[in-house]
A and B are shown apart, each in its own frame.
Chain A
Amino acid sequence: MPIIEVEQLSKAYRVTRKAPGLRGALAALVRARREVVTAVDGVSFSVEPGEMVGYIGVNGAGKSTTIKLLTGILVPSGGRVRVLGRDPHRQRQANARDIGVVFGQRSQLWWDLPVLESLRLIGRIYQVEPARLRRQLDRFIEVLELGPLLAVPVRALSLGQKMRAELAATLLHEPKVVYLDEPTIGLDLLVKDRIREFIKQVNREQGTTVVLTTHDLGDIEELCRRVVVIDAGRLLFDGPLETLRERLGTHRRMIFDTAAPVGELPLPPGVEVEVAEPRRLALRFDRALATASQVATAVMSRSEVLDFRLEEPDLGAVIKRIYAGALRGAEGSGP
């Protein structure tokens, strides 16, 4: 029984297109045109309980709009959306009780209040009984290391500390679904790691469904087993990250540790040397033109290989290709 069901979801706005400046505005009026901008165009997918789904696309592709439709902030122009069997717009409050949302830059904590007070107030808003609240707080203190932050007003926290507190606030009432909009933006590597670990833990231990929009490669790699790609409002891909990699990842790497420096090395077509150190050789090859075993054979036939490893297609390159439109030609979902 899917926890989130999205069927032909659409959201269109009427926008008046005009050139910049007063003259442009007046000129455009003479030829006034109200355009219809489709932010989300017939998107369909469903999410099972406990899944972690990544929502990827360039800015303006319709990610935030989809999140707003899923959380009940916006009303769809077409199609339907059901979360836990409810229409999130019609049953806004009931839906709100079961979800948590992190809007990257906009905090839900009170600026001047100490973190603990914010959390207490949120606990009351979500009607979390004191015993449960206490338990949750203890958990967060341990896992998010919230202890030293509790007495500090939010305005005095660093970005990383703010995000930790934000997550605590979002998960305080043990929501069944959590929407994370750019949760690691602006954070340093260590903090990002910690946040990702926490999210994984929550997903693992509570079975919380996670829908995540992000540009961060690390986020995608660590958290998104399943990925939905959206572009210009349309869903272009919905499936495992691995499949996406395979489809779009053109290059792989093989790294060899050799006993002695490798001399002349004839390479099959599509293979190029990336790094050539005395006892270390890194080769990059186009999957379409050469196989891993061809590359391995080429190297092993010429030198004594002590160890080697094979690296999967670089995710960054994959994402770049997606943003550049590699998927647009072939729409569809599934592996």
Chain B
Amino acid sequence: MTALRDRIGVMAAIGAMALKRELAERSWFWMQLVVRLVTMLVLAHFWRAVYADTERLGGLAFQQTLDYALLAQVLAPLSEHKLITTFSRLLSTGDMAIELLRPVDLQASEYAGNLAGLVLYEAFQLPLLVVAWGFLGLRLPGDPLTWAAFLVTLLLGHAILFLADWILACLAFYTTEAWGIGVMRHVLSTFFGGALLPLAMLPGWLRGVADALPFAQGIAAPTLVLAGVTPLAQLPSVWGLQLAWLAGLWLLSRLAFARAVRQVTVHGG
């Protein structure tokens, strides 16, 4: 009898130990999930109450909006602003010069790293997806075509956000307070990217601002596809617009970077 009790005690202790270890090393990760989960809970209830007496808002039905809002939360890491921090750090430590001497295009390598980071991060967001789907009423598309379209839109959108970030990050060459610009950009991209609410619900003039900025291409566009709001027939025009943004931003990013680098070599930053 005591042997059994001991055995159970040991098992419990091991379980607690493993849990404590997991928590200690991943406590930041769990914290992130909890925070986002709370946000999703608030959103689910909020939209339900909003649509209580209304059929459509901004042309969207309740389920569409709900799907959109929850998915936008899962895709949230898209609007992180790592590049500005990276550039600032490289410049202050003097490592930028070393990076520039490498026989690899900095933008390409940063992009690859960024993309890999995104994939990893999204993988960690999966529990949220499961909870939203199981408890908050999220509906995911059944057909693989929509998922494929989503992935394409996501990749294009992520690249657009990356380039936009790259251009802003070049400001780090000119000032040490570029981080402030990063924070501002994060706020703007969250709002005008459609992470807080479907852009269709914004009043006309704000909608115009959102259209003029690239952020919606990265966050709203893929989310709308996955939420089933964008019909498959519309995809060519969606992708056309994204490709246009991509081309334009890419050119701009090469120009901005070349100009910024010259700044360093001339002034010895």
A22 at the interface (CB under 8 A from B): yes
13 contacts between A and B (CB under 8 A): A22-B18, A22-B21, A25-B17, A25-B21, A26-B14, A26-B17, A26-B18, A29-B10, A29-B14, A29-B17, A30-B10, A30-B14, A32-B13
The answer for the CA separation of A94 and B66 in the assembled complex, in Å, is 61
Scan residues 152-171 of chain B and give those whose CB is less than 8 A from a CB of chain A: none
Minimum CB–CB distance for A286 against chain B, Å? 55
- Neighbouring A residues of B13 by C-beta, 8 Å: 29, 32
Scan residues 1-49 of chain A and give those whose CB is less than 8 A from a CB of chain B: 22, 25-26, 29-30, 32
Interface residues in chain B, defined as those with a beta carbon under 8 Å from any beta carbon in chain A? 10, 13-14, 17-18, 21
Which residue on chain A has the smallest CB distance to residue B9? A32
Minimum CB–CB distance for A34 against chain B, Å? 12
- Neighbouring A residues of B18 by C-beta, 8 Å: 22, 26
Summed over the interface, the residue pairs from A and B with CB atoms below 8 Å come to a total of 14
Which residue on chain A has the smallest CB distance to residue B18? A26
- Neighbouring B residues of A22 by C-beta, 8 Å: 18, 21
Mark A95-123 against chain B: 1 for CB-CB distance below 8 A, else 0: 00000000000000000000000000000
Minimum CB–CB distance for A225 against chain B, Å? 48
Residue among A26, A29, A30 facing the most chain B CB atoms (10 A cut-off)? A29
Which residue on chain B has the smallest CB distance to residue A32? B13
Starting from the known contacts A25-B17, A26-B17, A30-B10, 5 additional A-B residue pairs (CB-CB under 8 Å) come to A22-B18, A25-B21, A29-B10, A29-B13, A32-B13
The answer for the CA separation of A164 and B176 in the assembled complex, in Å, is 32
Q: How many residues of A contact B (CB 8 A)?
A: 6
- Neighbouring A residues of B21 by C-beta, 8 Å: 22, 25
Minimum CB–CB distance for A112 against chain B, Å? 16
Shortest beta-carbon contacts, A-B, top 5: A29-B14, A29-B13, A29-B17, A26-B14, A30-B10
Which residue on chain A has the smallest CB distance to residue B22? A22
The answer for the CA separation of A98 and B13 in the assembled complex, in Å, is 47
The answer for the CA separation of A30 and B18 in the assembled complex, in Å, is 13
- Neighbouring B residues of A29 by C-beta, 8 Å: 10, 13-14, 17
The answer for the CA separation of A25 and B25 in the assembled complex, in Å, is 14
The answer for the CA separation of A25 and B18 in the assembled complex, in Å, is 9
- Neighbouring B residues of A30 by C-beta, 8 Å: 10, 14
Which residue on chain B has the smallest CB distance to residue A16? B17
Minimum CB–CB distance for B224 against chain A, Å? 43
Minimum CB–CB distance for B10 against chain A, Å? 6
The answer for the CA separation of A333 and B10 in the assembled complex, in Å, is 47
The answer for the CA separation of A29 and B17 in the assembled complex, in Å, is 8
The answer for the CA separation of A25 and B13 in the assembled complex, in Å, is 11
Minimum CB–CB distance for B16 against chain A, Å? 9
The answer for the CA separation of A25 and B10 in the assembled complex, in Å, is 13
- Neighbouring B residues of A26 by C-beta, 8 Å: 14, 17-18
- Neighbouring A residues of B17 by C-beta, 8 Å: 25-26, 29
Which residue on chain A has the smallest CB distance to residue B16? A29
Minimum CB–CB distance for A310 against chain B, Å? 55
The answer for the CA separation of A141 and B10 in the assembled complex, in Å, is 64
Minimum CB–CB distance for A279 against chain B, Å? 55
Minimum CB–CB distance for B266 against chain A, Å? 28
The answer for the CA separation of A25 and B19 in the assembled complex, in Å, is 12
Minimum CB–CB distance for B61 against chain A, Å? 49
Which residue on chain B has the smallest CB distance to residue A31? B10
- Neighbouring A residues of B10 by C-beta, 8 Å: 29-30
Which residue on chain B has the smallest CB distance to residue A28? B17
Minimum CB–CB distance for B176 against chain A, Å? 15
- Neighbouring B residues of A25 by C-beta, 8 Å: 17, 21
Minimum CB–CB distance for B43 against chain A, Å? 37
- Neighbouring B residues of A32 by C-beta, 8 Å: 13
The answer for the CA separation of A241 and B10 in the assembled complex, in Å, is 53
Which residue on chain B has the smallest CB distance to residue A26? B14
The answer for the CA separation of A30 and B13 in the assembled complex, in Å, is 8
Minimum CB–CB distance for B12 against chain A, Å? 10
Which residue on chain A has the smallest CB distance to residue B10? A30
The answer for the CA separation of A22 and B22 in the assembled complex, in Å, is 10
The answer for the CA separation of A335 and B18 in the assembled complex, in Å, is 54
Minimum CB–CB distance for B14 against chain A, Å? 5
The answer for the CA separation of A50 and B163 in the assembled complex, in Å, is 69
